Amino acid sequence: MVKNEKINYNLTKRIKLLLLVVCFIVVGFLVVEYMPSVKEALILATTVKPETFTELYFEDHLSLPNKVTLFKENNFAPKQNQRIDYLL
């Protein structure tokens, strides 16, 4: 008799947990569906937006090389005591 009660208790515990999860899902869906601000916040939080552009500024842009060759070391380093300003 005791063994049967324990099985029933575990079964009812699992059913209650399942019903609680279903209720949370339904309430969450209703909140997202009927509140546009929540829906918009959820979309913004879960989507990845790529960066539109990156700007790079050189103080002495005339000293940059005219051609860049693949598989060859290209030196863009400034001359000594010069700075490279960049904005990311």
Number of structural domains found in the chain: 1
Structural domain for 26, as ranges: 2-87
Read off the pLDDT of each residue in 36-63 and give the average, rounded to a whole number.
Answer: 81
**Going by C-beta distance under 8 Å and a sequence separation of 6 or more, which residues neighbour residue 33?**
39
CA–CA gap between residue 19 and residue 67 (Å, rounded): 67
Position 88 scores a pLDDT of: 44
**Going by C-beta distance under 8 Å and a sequence separation of 6 or more, which residues neighbour residue 60?**
78, 79, 82
Is the pTM value of this prediction over 0.75?
Answer: no
% the chain with pLDDT above 90: 9
pLDDT band at 4 (very low <50, low <70, confident <90, very high): low
Poorest-confidence range of 37-41, 52-56, 78-82? Answer: 78-82
Position 55 scores a pLDDT of: 78
CA–CA gap between residue 34 and residue 39 (Å, rounded): 8
CA–CA gap between residue 16 and residue 20 (Å, rounded): 6
End-to-end, the C-alpha distance of the chain in Å comes to: 72
